[in-house]
Amino acid sequence: MRLGIDFGTTRTVVAAVQDGRHPLAVFDDDGEFRDHVPGIAAWQDGALRVGWAAERALADGSAEHAIRSIKRAIGALAPDAPVPGLPGVTALGLATAFFVELRAALHARCTLDLDPDAPLEVMAAVPANAPSRQRWLTLEALRRAGFAPLGLLNEPTAGALDFAHRHLELGRKSPKKYVVVYDLGGGTFDTSAVSLQGRHFELIASAGLARLGGDDFDQLLLDAAGVEATAATLERARLAKESLTPTSRKLLLDLGDREPIALDVAALYARAQPLIDATLAQVDGLFASLRDRGIDPDDPRELGGIYLVGGGAAFPAVARALRARFARKLQLAPQPFAATAIGLALAADPDAHVLIREAVTRHFGVWREADAGDDKVFDPLLGKDTAGPIVVERRYRPAHPVGHLRFLECGALDAAGQPVQDLVPCEDIYFPYDPALADRDELATVPNPRRTELMANEIVETYTYGRDGAISVRIENRSRGYGRTYQLA
């Protein structure tokens, strides 16, 4: 069985590939039907619970510790880093526990008729601006939970597939050149232009904010009410927010243990406006980068539409701002919450005949010692929007016994080529330039004075960027014939 799994900050949605259709998984949760699994984790009675069980523990106050937005909490963490707010749980451990629960629910209490013995082959996705360690962690957690990952796309590419499937006949030549996906989810905002030419779905350009989403609107609501933010009060705020309609004037925030607080909706929208403006500024940035590539976003013959996906689109102030800005170009996905999952199922469906080319949407590089002083200079190894698979090489002669490489990802580079915007440090690695240390494991504490005679060694770094977004490097001392390979998650 093939599935598309949209691991979302607030909701994880699954669509299947079944006889040319792509139905959503509906779960029976204690007699209630649910079309998603919430991204909540909680310690209760000495056990880690995730999904609906965790939401119940959070709501009835029986959770000793709880976090919401699992994906956002682990997004920038190293796999074995502890998750803040959940003692004793690592990032990879939590993601794995979540997918184990999802797999169990798919087999035991779901409307899809799954063969218990057949492997579950999965197409998954991450936000277009996700650091590669998040890509690695998502794939690894799926694998450990017993799924067979087929691939990892960028979420907007999946959204574009859903658009193309509904508006164009897949496989036919598209009259429009590309679609712009606007995806305001629970934890991230992504906006991307995806090519529709031929059957090649290709990310042309992408912009977004790694940490802006519906969660921030929940926080805003609590700020307006003067209530302290905890996992439990934020969940209450989310439920209140989701009850808003375009005509709401007052909003009741029910915290359970006291009188509901009445909030003025117009004042709330005024507080939300800077966040909405920040998303529109990203769309402007995306349009500017399209113009740089010779694509005119104002040409309606080329632009298939601005496709609105994700739950944030249901926030009335967002929908209103987008309609004011884009007018008839705006197209609301029929199932905004499910668009990404359905697109992933399409990508997993061999009969849909879609070909996908993905691109790196972040800059990835390493800090190197400058020639003078102890300054550090950023060496951008892989540029934003380059398509994988790609191999990049660096050669040099070292002047120290140990190479300490500090990797970094970021959303943009300034004019001098130095990193700005959404910096995410990746693992540090150490490599023995000095052949006398070739077999040594612990290199971080070795004294590292300058020794010019080491320049007799030629070092070669070979970076490999895979189609799934994973990056690895092989470092070799070519003069002495030894090397090491590192996975840069």
Minimal CB distance to ligand ATP: which residue? Answer: 214
Residue (6 or 461) nearer to Mg ion, CB: 6
Quote the tokens at residue 54. 């965790």
| Residue 484, Cβ density class (10 Å: 0-12 exposed, 13-18 middle, ≥19 buried) | middle
Three-state DSSP state, 465: strand
Task: Name the β-bridge partners of 476.
Answer: 460, 483
User: Least Å distance between CB 239 and ligand ATP?
Assistant: 8
> How far apart are the C-alpha atoms of 188 and 310, rounded to whole Å?
10
**175-204 positions binding Mg ion, by CB under 5 A:** 185
First-to-last C-alpha distance (Å) of the chain: 28
10 contributes a contact to ligand ATP by CB under 6 A: yes
Other CB atoms within 10 Å distance of the CB of residue 332: 17
Q: How many residues bind Mg ion (CB under 5 A)?
A: 2
Provide the minimum distance between the beta carbon of 138 and Mg ion in the complex, in angstroms, as a whole number. 13
Report the 10 Å Cβ neighbour count for 258.
8
244 binds ligand ATP (CB under 6 A): yes
Residue 134 in the binding site for ligand ATP (CB under 6 A) = no
| Contacted entry of Mg ion, ligand ATP, none for residue 241, CB cut-off 5 to 8 Å set by kind | ligand ATP
Compute how many residues bind ligand ATP; rule: CB under 6 A: 22
Pair 185, 312: CB distance under 8 Å? yes
Per-residue x/- mask for ligand ATP, residues 284 to 313, rule CB under 6 A? --------------------------xxx-
Interface residue with Mg ion, options 3, 4, 5, 8 (CB under 5 A): 8
Residues 57-116 contacting ligand ATP, CB under 6 A: 71
Per-residue binding letters, 191-220, with ligand ATP (x by CB under 6 A): ----------------------xxx-----
Residue 232 three-state SS: helix
Decide whether 126 or 473 has the Cβ nearer to ligand ATP. 126
What is the C-alpha to C-alpha distance for residues 308 and 314, in angstroms, rounded to an integer?
10
3-state SS, residue 387: strand
Tell me how far the alpha carbon of residue 244 is from its chain's centroid: 27
Stretch that binds ligand ATP, among 4-12, 166-174, 203-211, 355-363 (CB under 6 A): 4-12
CB 75 within 8 A of CB 362: no
What's the rounded Cα separation, in Å, for the pair 422 and 10? 21
Residue matched to tokens 């990032």: 91
Tokens 């102890």 sit on residue:
374
C-alpha pair distances (Å), 12 with each of 35, 61, 74, 219: 9, 23, 15, 21
8 belongs to the binding site for ligand ATP (CB under 6 A): yes
360-399 footprint of Mg ion as x/- string (CB under 5 A): ----------------------------------------
Contact flag: residue 131 with Mg ion (CB under 5 A): no
| Residue 9 in the binding site for ligand ATP (CB under 6 A) | yes
141 vs 244, which CB is nearer to ligand ATP?
244
Segment 409 to 428, residues that bind Mg ion, using CB under 5 A: none
Does the protein bind ligand ATP through residue 315 (CB under 6 A)?
yes
Binding site for ligand ATP (CB under 6 A): 8-11, 71, 185-188, 213-215, 238, 241-242, 244, 310-312, 314-315, 337
